[in-house]
Structure 1
């Protein structure tokens, strides 16, 4: 009976030790501070280290090296010369073609202007003026003036046929002569000196024609007066004789 309390004490000791250990583990009285890992350890490492290296291990980029300049081959030089010759030939042919086209355009323009000018000189159809027989009459008049002055001085031989021909033209072909005069005047206006001399000659000719008409009228009136006086005298002599 004396050993029972001893056995109980032996049974309580392991129980107490176990309870103390459990209490210490569950409720610790001291706080253990763990050291934080370094910052570079917080970065996640990729699965493939060789394919995606870390930023710290990335090497600085180097500028690309310029490609070596290669000298042109003989074939390239020949092709360049052929290309240059072809371009020069094309430019020369294009310039020649453009010059030829401009020349033909100018010729056609002059031809059209000449034909329209000649057509504008003809009289209208409703007029009774005919160019062909009238031109022959003008030519005959000019030749007759040349025949009349063949033994005269050179001034008369040069001016009288022209004056006779122009006069005949104004009489036989008045409309055509007026158109020709207007055309000549348009060309004379481009040269002020020629136009001024033409106006002087024309004014002198008009003034001379007026003087000729005036003198002709005076001579006509004088001849009529003379004839009338003579007739009156004859009539008086006849009346006295009867």
Structure 2
């Protein structure tokens, strides 16, 4: 068995030697496989440089004189078109007047509302404040009664007294009963009088004359009261002297 194996190895040795010698004596080129998608990158970049040679100039084209179409020509207005234009102008005219009338009405209403607010604010400002403790209702009744009393007193007198005395009595009663309200009324009257300088000047002169008259009357009243007191004192002393002498 061992001899058979040895014999086989010896028989294969000459065959291997023949194959190697054949490969050496008849060499062949062996190509390696490479992927088909592989592309070699070039060494220099492919850059497109513009050409320095200028392109030949082309002469400008002459404007073509195309025939004018009938559509571009102005069309002649038909009677219907002219009527539509006139109606549009009339509508614009009426719209402008309607807008003007609306603005006038709005301005009138705004002025009326402003006047109403001014009137209510003025009346509210005439009322006395709560801190003053003045009440309008009984005071106004007292002023009205005083004015009626002055009218009754001057019933058979001249027209001047019948027109001035009740007013004077009512104003005096108002200053004595409703001083805060009368002060507010006088301030309001003075504010309106300042708009007319002549009336304001006349008011100031009348006020100064009345103040002077009041001061004059007050001084003479004090003098008269002092004179009466002196006379009463003298009379009393004389009577007391007579009484003492009679005793």
**Does the pair score TM above 0.5?**
yes
Normalised by the size of structure 2, how large is the TM-score?
A: 0.70
Pick from 159, 162, 185: which aligns with 1:157? 162
Stretches of structure 1 lacking an aligned partner (at least 5 in a row): 1-53
2:121 aligned residue: 116
Rounded to whole Å, the distance in 2 between the matches of 1:152 and 1:186 is 35
After superposition, the Cα gap between the structure-2 partners of 1:239 and 1:85, relative to the gap in structure 1 and judged at 3 Å, is same
Alignment partner of 1:102 is 2:107? yes
After superposition, the Cα gap between the structure-2 partners of 1:162 and 1:78, relative to the gap in structure 1 and judged at 3 Å, is same
C-alpha displacement at 1:64, in angstroms? 6.3
1:62 aligned residue: 65
1:77 aligned residue: 82
1:3 aligned residue: none
Normalised by the size of structure 1, how large is the TM-score?
A: 0.71
RMSD over equivalenced CA pairs, Å: 2.1
Rounded to whole Å, the distance in 1 between the matches of 2:205 and 2:190 is 13
CA deviation digits over 1:41-95, x for unaligned, max 9?
A: xxxxxxxxxxxxx98xx87743865943321112211221222122122222211
Rounded to whole Å, the distance in 2 between the matches of 1:59 and 1:200 is 97
Rounded to whole Å, the distance in 1 between the matches of 2:62 and 2:101 is 65
After superposition, the Cα gap between the structure-2 partners of 1:198 and 1:60, relative to the gap in structure 1 and judged at 3 Å, is closer
Rounded to whole Å, the distance in 2 between the matches of 1:59 and 1:141 is 110
CA deviation digits over 1:158-184, x for unaligned, max 9?
A: 211111111111011111001001100
Rounded to whole Å, the distance in 1 between the matches of 2:203 and 2:175 is 17
Rounded to whole Å, the distance in 2 between the matches of 1:98 and 1:153 is 54
Rounded to whole Å, the distance in 2 between the matches of 1:72 and 1:128 is 84
Pick from 228, 231, 238: which aligns with 1:233? 238
After superposition, the Cα gap between the structure-2 partners of 1:227 and 1:72, relative to the gap in structure 1 and judged at 3 Å, is same
1:168 aligned residue: 173
- Which secondary structure does the structure 2 equivalent of 1:126 belong to? helix
Pick from 98, 119, 122: which aligns with 1:93? 98
1:195 aligned residue: 200
Rounded to whole Å, the distance in 1 between the matches of 2:165 and 2:198 is 24
Rounded to whole Å, the distance in 1 between the matches of 2:128 and 2:62 is 102
Rounded to whole Å, the distance in 1 between the matches of 2:246 and 2:143 is 56
Pick from 191, 216, 220: which aligns with 2:225? 220
Alignment partner of 1:137 is 2:142? yes
C-alpha displacement at 1:128, in angstroms? 2.3
